[in-house]
């Protein structure tokens, strides 16, 4: 299965490290990893909402915290927090989304193996 890695903001700065939250999902025969910097989006549902809006997937916000997805083919695998350390070429992942649960570690590892830079070749460290 093909994996697309999307980041928010779209272009990552050349800083040696980046921290934030991430989501894993499957949709239309493809896996997605969505990484959002701390200053860009604060919550996992905001990350998902941005992806849905950009992909044109039907959804609506019932209130400021409740996102309803109207696409039966979309499966959210989970989420967590991350720290990308470019100096050591390490991606640290931990925690779980309070709404979507913990990420799938084996799927995350497989996705990163076939990814484009800066994600390819990173040492994955799970806490």
How does pLDDT run across 30-49, given as a tens digit for each residue?
999 999 999 899 999 999 99
Entry pTM: 0.92
pLDDT digits (tens, 9 = 90+) for 97-122: 999 999 999 999 988 887 877 788 89
Domain covering 2-126 in this structure, CATH number:
3.50.20.20
Integer Cα distance of 16 and 13 in angstroms: 9
What letters, b where the CB count within 10 A reaches 16 and e where it falls short, cover 23-49? bbbbbeeebbbbbbbeebbebbbbbbb
Phi, psi of 25 (to 5 degrees): -150, 165
Q: Say which residues have a Cβ less than 8 Å from residue 96's Cβ, sequence separation at least 6.
A: 78, 79, 80, 102, 103
């Amino acid at each position: 299965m093909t994996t697309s890695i999307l980041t928010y903001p779209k272009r990552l700065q050349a800083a040696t490290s980046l921290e934030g939250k991430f989501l894993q999902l499957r949709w239309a025969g493809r896996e997605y990893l969505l990484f959002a910097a701390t200053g860009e989006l604060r919550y996992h549902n905001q990350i998902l909402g941005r992806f849905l809006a950009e992909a044109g997937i039907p959804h609506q916000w019932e209130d400021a915290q409740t996102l309803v997805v109207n696409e039966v083919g979309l499966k959210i695998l989970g989420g967590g927090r991350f720290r990308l350390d470019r100096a050591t070429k390490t991606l640290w992942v931990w925690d779980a989304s309070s709404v979507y649960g913990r990420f799938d570690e084996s799927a995350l590892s497989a996705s990163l193996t076939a990814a484009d830079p800066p994600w390819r070749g990173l040492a994955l460290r799970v806490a």
